[in-house]
Amino acid sequence: MPFKSLDELRAACLDLPAGSDAAADAVARRQDTLTKPQGSLGRLEAIAAWLARWQGRDMPQLDHVKVLVFAGNHGVTAQGVSAFPSEVTVQMVANFAGGGAAINQLARIAGAELDVIPLDLDYPTGDFTQVPAMDGEAFLAAVSAGYGAVTKDLDLVCFGEMGIGNTTPAAAISAALFGGGAEKWTGRGTGVDDAGLVRKITAIEAGLKRHAEALADPLGIAAALGGRELAAIFGATLAARHLGVPVLLDGFVCTAAAAPLARLHPAGLAHTLAAHVSAESGHRRLLEALGLPPLLDLGMRLGEGSGACLAVNIVRSALECHTSMASFAEAGVSEK
């Protein structure tokens, strides 16, 4: 296990490489020579430079792209916070394995390898209205599982999740990190009715009150209010930074899972892009709080890494323009 204590994990969160200014600057210089008005490709130009910075290459590449989907179950579902029963998590993991889910199709189209990682699905986390979702040992095990899932050979990684009820811990973590109370961050998730929404808000308020002593520490928040798949996404985001792998974050749950790193280090999520803003009400607020403008806004709220996979195609387009366009000199086109 990479992390044997919270202090060891905290130290790893504070020791983050800054990325390569030289590689990003080289991309920017090349962009200014290509057959287009300078800056006319907008964020596509910035995406190419972002890839270069975090890959540490003057000429980035996307030969090996992976989608990591982490799955976990949540004790807080006992509070009636989801429209679906918790056994759906296991059933959907089987659906992923059979190739029948949306993420299977989107990963194939994006040219990305899909890896689904279930985390102790037979043992839900604790109901955080009553007890911490995870004790220190369980939290570190989940973080370490995510950390170990990212490998240095990746050129880009997308994170996704599957876990019935997991918009509840995502909202709880967001409220604990950024304040404003449960109602500000809580949406309908899988489609709960008005009564279900009230139950979600009530459960989150109870969790925030019960674990008030943990709320000063981002790691304590993630353990007390989160879930195994969220902890794994946190660990995977940290590993990607240490290994020089750029990250596309998916929706509300993934963003909330990674958010504690931004509270531990002011540039903790600089190696990530927000792939999209989901229809879950707290996601837009969370992206604004983190300063992460989304690439897409398609009204999606599926999870699974679906929005991140769609954004791979945008990143590929940015890279193709950067690597394959002719310069003014090569094309014989007059500059202004």
Quick: pLDDT tens for 71-96: 999 999 999 999 999 999 999 999 99
pLDDT string in tens for the chain (336-residue length): 789 999 999 999 999 999 999 999 999 999 999 999 999 999 999 999 999 999 999 999 999 999 999 999 999 999 999 999 999 999 999 999 999 999 999 999 999 999 999 999 999 999 999 999 999 999 999 999 999 999 999 999 999 999 999 999 999 999 999 999 999 999 999 899 999 999 999 999 999 999 999 999 999 999 999 999 999 999 999 999 999 999 999 999 999 999 999 999 999 999 999 999 999 989 999 999 999 999 999 999 999 999 999 999 999 999 999 999 999 999 888 887
The CA distance from 299 to 77, in Å, is 25
The CA distance from 199 to 188, in Å, is 11
In sequence order, the 6+-apart residues with CB closer than 8 A to the CB of 291 are: none
The pLDDT, as a whole number, for residue 290 is 98
- Find tokens 């709880």 and name the residue: 172
Q: Between helices 167-178 and 194-210, what is the axis angle to 10°?
A: 50
E strand or H helix at 85: none
The pLDDT, as a whole number, for residue 331 is 87
The CA distance from 14 to 30, in Å, is 33
The CA distance from 330 to 310, in Å, is 33
The CA distance from 265 to 251, in Å, is 21
Instruction: Compute the radius of gyration of the chain from its Cα atoms.
Output: 20
Which one of the listed residues 304, 320, 330, 335 is annotated catalytic?
Answer: 304
The CA distance from 226 to 133, in Å, is 6
Helices (H), 32-118: 43-55, 87-97, 102-110
The pLDDT, as a whole number, for residue 177 is 98
Cβ(204)–Cβ(221) under 8 Å? no
Question: Any idea which architecture 6-25+43-324 has in CATH?
Answer: 3-Layer(aba) Sandwich (3.40)
**Quick one: 183 exposed, middle or buried, by C-beta within 10 A (0-12, 13-18, 19+)?**
middle
pLDDT in tens, 303-335: 999 999 999 999 999 999 999 999 999 988 888
The pLDDT, as a whole number, for residue 190 is 84
How many Cα atoms are found within 13 Å in the side-chain-facing hemisphere of 301?
A: 14
In sequence order, the 6+-apart residues with CB closer than 8 A to the CB of 194 are: none
Cβ(263)–Cβ(174) under 8 Å? no
The pLDDT, as a whole number, for residue 175 is 98
Nearest CA to 246 out of 274, 278, 208, 288 is that of 274
List the chain domain ranges: 6-25+43-324
What number of other Cβ atoms are within 10 A of residue 324's Cβ? 8
CA-to-CA separations, 86 to 83, 104, 160, 317, in angstroms, rounded:
10, 22, 18, 38
Respond yes or no: is residue 304 known to be catalytic.
yes
Q: How many residues does the chain have?
A: 336
CA 52 centroid distance within chain: 20
The CA distance from 53 to 39, in Å, is 18
Its pTM stands at: 0.97
